[in-house]
Amino acid sequence: MKIKFMLKRATILTVFVFTLSALSPLTSFAEPNQVKDPVLEGVLASETVEGIDTTVKLDDSVLSKSFDLEEEVMNLPSINEMTNKEKKLFYQIVDEQTELSGVDEKELFKEAIVDFFDENSETYQDLTGVQSELEKEMESLDNNQNDFSDNQFATIKNTFSDMIGIKETQAAWKIGLSVRVTGAIINTAIGIAVGGGVGAIQSFIISKGKKEAQKIFTRTVTSKLKAWGAKHLATAVGVSVAFALNYLDIGTQIAKQLDKRDKRPNNGWVDIY
């Protein structure tokens, strides 16, 4: 949908807004016909779920005792600093996450995830900044209300309200990042570190065992959320990871569990601050 004020402010954040608008119906807990996520009972070895092989062979370096997932994720390079091999892996993971998202606007979803890992982007590695800027976009819509007819403004506003997960208060718009976007970002970061997509992540969990994997993922996700500017969410990571380890799409499940424990629980989007 082409919207006048969006064309005036063609930034990556605009793309992010459109991306989020495609996601919310898929992630809302209130959706009665929501497709359930695939479950790995106890994360079983030699298991294939929804066509994704969880017995992916990992590099010896990833399986070695010296491999530190937390350190690897914390030190992820920007896209422009990646080797050709790393870039190929990165885009493969992003493509996988885009397909798993189930959104119609796949190119917009893909661009949003890519930009989060691009240091030349305004949204690079900063969840707090993304949410803050999105709030400014919504405030801009209100401030430019006179540019639209009443019907146009109502349509745009309802589109954001129904699809993104936003709440208008007396002071300002409040926006959270979609569970699916947050989950894809987590999966991408971990996937780059272990050398593959969700199948490789599960293979890593299997190799470590659930108990040890829970410790590793809790440390890793906690550190990264703090680095991304979402410190208050870090307190809920432990229990979120414990639950998510039973699922194939661990990133999205972690995001859903964080959503259950944020300021406005179970609304399909994560309050970053």
Q: For 206-236, how does the pLDDT look when each residue is reduced to its tens digit (9 = 90+)?
A: 899 989 999 999 999 999 999 988 888 889 9
Q: 22-36, 220-234, 249-263 — which is least confidently predicted?
A: 22-36
Rg of the Cα atoms in the chain: 19
Element (H, E) at 53: strand 52-53
Per the domain annotation, does 17 fall within a domain? yes
User: Are 116 and 235 in a shared domain?
Assistant: no
C-alpha 37/C-alpha 179 separation (Å) is 13
Nearest residue to 236 via CA among 253, 220, 260: 260
C-alpha distances out from residue 166 to 118, 145, 189, 202, 257, Å = 26, 18, 26, 33, 19
In this predicted structure, the answer to whether residue 183 has a pLDDT above a threshold of 70 is yes
Residue 195 forms part of a structural domain: yes
Q: Are residues 23 and 116 in the same domain?
A: yes
Mean pLDDT confidence for 55-78? 94
| % of the chain at pLDDT higher than 90 | 36
Q: Which of 39-43, 48-52, 75-79 has the highest mean pLDDT?
A: 75-79
User: What is the rounded distance in angstroms from the CA atom of residue 77 to the CA atom of residue 87?
Assistant: 10
What mean pLDDT is predicted for residues 54-75?
93
Residue 154 and residue 182 share a domain: no
The one-letter amino acid at 125: Q
Give the domain range for residue 211: 48-76+178-270
Give me the mean pLDDT over the 51-71 stretch: 88
Q: What is the mean pLDDT of residues 146-157?
A: 75
Question: Looking at the structure, do residues 137 and 153 belong to the same domain, yes or no?
Answer: yes
State pLDDT tens for residues 82-125: 999 999 999 999 999 988 887 766 776 788 789 889 999 887 88
Q: Tell me: do 182 and 71 sit in the same domain.
A: yes
Mean pLDDT calculated for residue range 72-78? 96
Q: Are residues 238 and 170 in the same domain?
A: no
Q: Report the pLDDT value the prediction gives residue 272, as an integer from 0 to 100.
A: 72
Q: Which of 117, 144, 176 is the last residue of a domain?
A: 176
Token output for 203:
């293979």
Give residue 51's pLDDT. 60
Give the pLDDT confidence score for residue 84 in this predicted structure.
97
**If we measure between CA atoms, which residue out of 128, 106, 154, 140 comes closest to residue 11?**
140
| Domain count across the chain | 2
Residue 251 burial class via C-beta count within 10 angstroms: exposed 0-12, middle 13-18, buried 19 and up: buried
Instruction: Give 55's pLDDT tier (boundaries 50, 70, 90).
Output: confident
Task: Provide mean pLDDT across the span 16-38.
Answer: 39
Give a yes or no: residue 38 inside a domain: no
155 & 185 share domain: no
H-type alpha helices, the chain: 4-8, 12-27, 60-63, 69-74, 84-101, 106-116, 127-143, 150-163, 179-194, 198-208, 210-227, 237-244, 250-260
User: What's the chain's average pLDDT?
Assistant: 76
pLDDT score, position 219? 97
In-domain check, residue 249: yes
